[in-house]
Amino acid sequence: MSTEKPVAEEPRRPIGTVKTVAVGAAKKAAKKAMEAPKPVAEPPPPPPPVEETKGRRCDSALTKQDLAEMLEFKFKLDPDTAGWIVQSILDKMLDSLKKGWHIEFRDFGVFEVIERSSRLGRNPRKPAETVIIPPRRTVRFKPGKMMKTLVSKQRPDAQPAP
């Protein structure tokens, strides 16, 4: 016979459970941390400035690249994925308009396809000559109520009319 004492085995835990051990000071510190008021989350920093590309960009236009960069920053996407998302949305909008459907964004506005009938026009190079302009389909955008109100508000840096 052996004189060794039998070692008590630890009871088995189900897979995926974690054994936690907190004693004395560590337990008190953890409790204090949970009771302490949590700091208010700061808003995320503004998106990085958009670099000029080939001198064609201006500060007063929002481009597909700007939208992709906003998605990339806000949702931490890689540039290719963000660009693909923007392009996919625009492609779906274009497909819908090709089918003659209208696209409605509440408070923003409505894109709709309208049929323009044929009409008489003038040749700009020969004003005396009349030309028949054939019928065609075109897209019209009607701004929503909220967009109208926001856009029509006077800019703070604008000077009042004399």
Q: Taking the domains of the chain in order of start, what are their residue ranges?
A: 62-99, 100-152
Distances 36 to 26, 32, 42, 152 between C-alpha atoms, Å: 15, 6, 18, 47
* CA distances for 61 relative to 58, 67, 86, 87, angstroms: 6, 11, 16, 17
Looking at residue 30, its pLDDT comes to 64
Predicted local confidence at residue 17, as pLDDT:
46
Q: Is domain 100-152 annotated with CATH 4.10.520.10?
A: yes
Residue 62: φ, ψ to 5° = -105, 125
Q: Residue 48: which residues within 8 A CB-CB, separation 6 or more? A: 69, 73
Question: What is the layout of strands, in order, in the sheet containing 103-105?
Answer: 103-105, 109-116, 136-143
pTM: 0.55
Which residue's structure tokens are 């290719």? Answer: 80
Strand partners, 29: none
Task: State the DSSP code for 53.
Answer: -
> What is the rounded distance in angstroms from the CA atom of residue 135 to the CA atom of residue 114?
11
- Rounded to whole angstroms, the Cα distance separating 71 from 83 reads 9
Tens digit of each residue's pLDDT, the chain (162 residues): 556 665 556 555 555 444 444 455 666 666 666 665 656 666 666 655 554 444 445 567 889 999 999 999 999 999 999 999 999 999 999 999 999 999 999 989 999 999 999 999 999 999 899 999 999 999 999 999 999 998 888 665 656 555
Chain centre to alpha carbon of residue 8: 59
Task: Report whether 142 contacts 109 (CB < 8 A).
Answer: yes
User: Which pLDDT value is given to residue 48?
Assistant: 54
Do the beta carbons of residue 86 and residue 64 sit within 8 Å?
Answer: yes
